Amino acid sequence: MPSKKPKSPVSTKKKTRASKTVKTKKRKVKSPKSKARRSSRKRKSKSAKKSVYKRIAYTSLVVLSLVFVVYMSYLDRRITERFEGRIWQLPAHVYARPLELCVGKAISVEQLKFELDYLNYHKVDQLPKQHAQYRQWRNTFDIKTRKFVFWDGNEPVHTIRVVIEDKKVSDLIDISKNENTGLVRFDAGYLTGIFPSHAQDRVLLKLDDVPDMFIKMLLLIEDRRFFSHWGVDPRSIARALAANLSSGRTVQGGSTLTQQLVKNLFLDQGKRLTRKINEAFMSLLLEFHYDKRLILETYLNEIYLGQDGRRAIHGFGLASEFYFGKSLNELSIDEMAIMIGMVKGASYYNPLRNPEHALRRRNIVLSAMKLSELITEQQAELLSKKPIVTVKHARSGLYPAFIDVVKLQLQQDYQPEDLRSEGLRVFTTLDPYVQFKTEQAVKNTLPRLSKSNELQAAAVVASPLNGDVLAVVGDRNPTYKGFNRAINASRQVGSLIKPVVYLTAFEQGLGYTLATMLDDSEFIYKDSHQDDWQPLNYDKKYHGDVTLYESLLKSHNIPAVRTALDVGLDKVIKTLTALGSKQNIPPYPSLALGAVNMSPMEMTSIYQSFSTNGFRSPLRSVFAVLDKNRQPLERYSLDVDNQVKPESVALVNSALIDVTKYGTAKYLSKSLDIQVAGKTGTSDDLKDSWFAGFSGDIVAVVWIGFDDNRSTYLTGSSGAMKIWSNLMKDVAYKPYMLPEIPGLEKYWIDGDNGLLTEQDCKNALELTFIEGTQPDRSSDCESGRSSNWFFNLFN
């Protein structure tokens, strides 16, 4: 049997490859069922993915919708809370006292002109035809006043003629009736506001009180479709966008009045897209909730229209008074156009700071009015030629020391938050003319007394009649808002207290008179509980026996101490309290020399009592408060108290008159044209310089010193009295005269021994006595007395 041939390796490989090839072809073959199954699986996969995407999209939509609803609810709540609560915090408006004129009223030509300028009255060359105008010819004024709301009702407009002669009103005529009139009250000048933290100020307007022409002008320029859109106006936005694109810059805005209001009330001034979106949504919500008239009224009161120092001017009501000195319904059409033009840019178009810009913008407004036939072409041409005339006025917050006093009085009856947010109208006692002259006296005199810029001063001026505080200065720079020395500087009063010591002596019935001889010899006070105390006179000399009158005129120290100890230090303290002091003063012997700390305001209270012969009226800086609706809330009526005998005070005052003629204040007899009474005061080491005194219509106290209590090198007569003199020569019209009190008599007294004498005798003095207290013995008469014995003595 033949043997088999072995297989070739090549053939084996081929077979293997062929075999593999066959197997591969078998895998590629797909049956119809397999294809169907695979297609079904793909469809299910795609469907599942779509379902997931739908669920994600739906969930996202729900979440976003929920977020949107929540956010819109938040915006809605912000709007409703603001509009249904108190939209604004209204500061208290503080006013000066209103000027009142009547025949016989003491006032100079200079003061009346100052008052008119202070009130922003405009001087004209013809008879005044508009409110707040005046014409002056020498000492004659023709004036048309403003109407004003006071605590006792509305004050109408007056057209008057005022004639001033010898610093008094000699004629007061109602020009419209051509007859004499009894009393004319001017509007009260605005002083400042007691502001909340943002310092916004406004005078609220009711829409019904706004002129129709003003509303038409505002809507013409700012939002022509205000009454037809829903808070956002797509047409205005499209128009503004087209104008801005064509010019290549922003020349027009598309915001509605509602959007502007939302931006001012709720949003910042940024230009972010998110802010614009919020503005749009909130505008829609605002229009959904509230009437168009309320939105427009709120806009009129909210719009920002300038700055007055720290005070922000908001609303057309305040802006019209601030820029033009009159209410909105009194503005002329060209003045209204200026107001509306400022909406585009309150700073750039400010008529006070940028009158040229304001003029161009005003004329643009007038041109738009002409095209819309709100005015004729002739009116537009005439109004476009008018110059811009704004009022002159002092920057708010000019009297910080006085406002401090006002706040102290108000805080006794009102919470601080009410003063900053309830829109109170506060009528004060400040006299603008007296305040101005007091400030000038301090600013002009102090540099002549010392080269040091650290030397400080304070002054308080009041009315003797009723205790009204007329002026307050608390710093050498009167407009400085800081430490108020008039009420907060507690300093030793020195010899200002000596009239109190001698008044106590007269009150006690111990036989003291102006002619009582006092011992001015060496004196040492001994007390087992303290070291010995030896007072000295200012000149370091002893003068033997002197009359009480001479001791007060020359301000001797030792007789004052002996007298205080004799009548009782507790009695001196009681007299201080009766005159107005509220301090708890310890009974130390040095009290008799003024070693007690008081403020200038406290000393003014005491000397006000002297000026009225013991009839004390507590000092007041506020006499009426109205609420935001101008209804009376509080009247601070005049309160008079008398705890000392008028005849005793008259004795002291008769000597204080002579202090200003022959004593330590004799300089005043040359510098002033009227008779006054007063007293110098100097503390130890010349640390404090004081002067307190009064005329028939003014009581004033001036203090000079350093805050660190070092020496001023000034006495009362070389320092504070100079400021007092420069103040009084401009504001005091009436001389101080001793009142006619039954039981007061005058006698001639020998100045050497205090006994009765004759007028022609040497050293004779005419002194005032309470009936029955005059000396019962006469002095030997030595002829040859100089008629000005005391004047010669003190010179």
Q: What is the DSSP string of 351-384?
A: TTT-HHHHHHHHHHHHHHHHHTTSS-HHHHHHHH
CA angle 515, 520, 523 (to 5 degrees): 140
Coil, strand or helix: which one is 625?
strand
CB neighbour list of residue 420: distance below 8 Å, 6 or more residues apart: 89, 91, 92, 194, 195, 196
Task: Measure the CA–CA gap between 297 and 165, rounded to whole angstroms.
Answer: 50
Q: Which helix (H) or strand (E) holds 557?
A: helix 557-567
Phi-psi region of 423 (alpha: psi -120 to 50; beta: other; left: phi over 0): left
Coil, strand or helix: which one is 700?
strand
CA dihedral 577, 578, 581, 582 (to 10 degrees): 60
* DSSP bridge partners of 704: 457, 689
Q: Compute the residue count for the chain.
A: 795
Coil, strand or helix: which one is 255?
coil
For the question of residue 100 being annotated catalytic, the response is no
**Contact call for residues 143 and 709 (beta carbons, < 8 A):** no
Q: Is the dihedral of CA 559, 570, 595, 524 positive or negative?
A: positive
Tell me the pairing of strands 92-95 and 311-314. unpaired
Q: Where are the alpha helices (DSSP H) in 174-272?
A: 212-222, 234-247, 257-266
Q: Rounded to 5 degrees, what are φ and ψ at 159? A: -115, 110
Burial pattern 58-67, b for ≥16 Cβ within 10 A else e, equals eeeeeeeeee
Burial of 154 (0-12, 13-18, 19+ CB in 10 A): exposed
**Contact call for residues 370 and 380 (beta carbons, < 8 A):** yes
Q: Where are the alpha helices (DSSP H) in 582-712?
A: 600-611, 646-659, 668-671
Q: Which of 222, 279, 439, 507 is catalytic?
A: 222
For the question of residue 495 being annotated catalytic, the response is yes
Task: Measure the CA–CA gap between 90 and 68, rounded to whole angstroms.
Answer: 35
Q: Whose CA is closest to 152, among 639, 638, 632, 637? A: 632
Q: Whose CA is closest to 596, among 518, 488, 492, 464? A: 492
Q: Whose CA is closest to 163, among 144, 145, 143? A: 143
Tell me the pairing of strands 190-194 and 92-95. antiparallel
Q: Which of 396, 421, 463, 495 is catalytic?
A: 495
Q: Which two tokens stand for residue 108?
A: 């100079």
Coil, strand or helix: which one is 504?
helix
Q: At what angle do helices 109-118 and 432-449 cross, to 10 degrees?
A: 110
CA dihedral 492, 495, 499, 503 (to 10 degrees): 70
Look up residue 765 and give its DSSP letter: E
Burial pattern 225-239, b for ≥16 Cβ within 10 A else e, equals ebeebebbbeebbee
Task: Measure the CA–CA gap between 164 and 34, rounded to whole angstroms.
Answer: 123
Q: Is the dihedral of CA 341, 345, 346, 348 positive or negative?
A: negative
Task: Measure the CA–CA gap between 673 and 728, rounded to whole angstroms.
Answer: 10
Catalytic residues: 222, 495
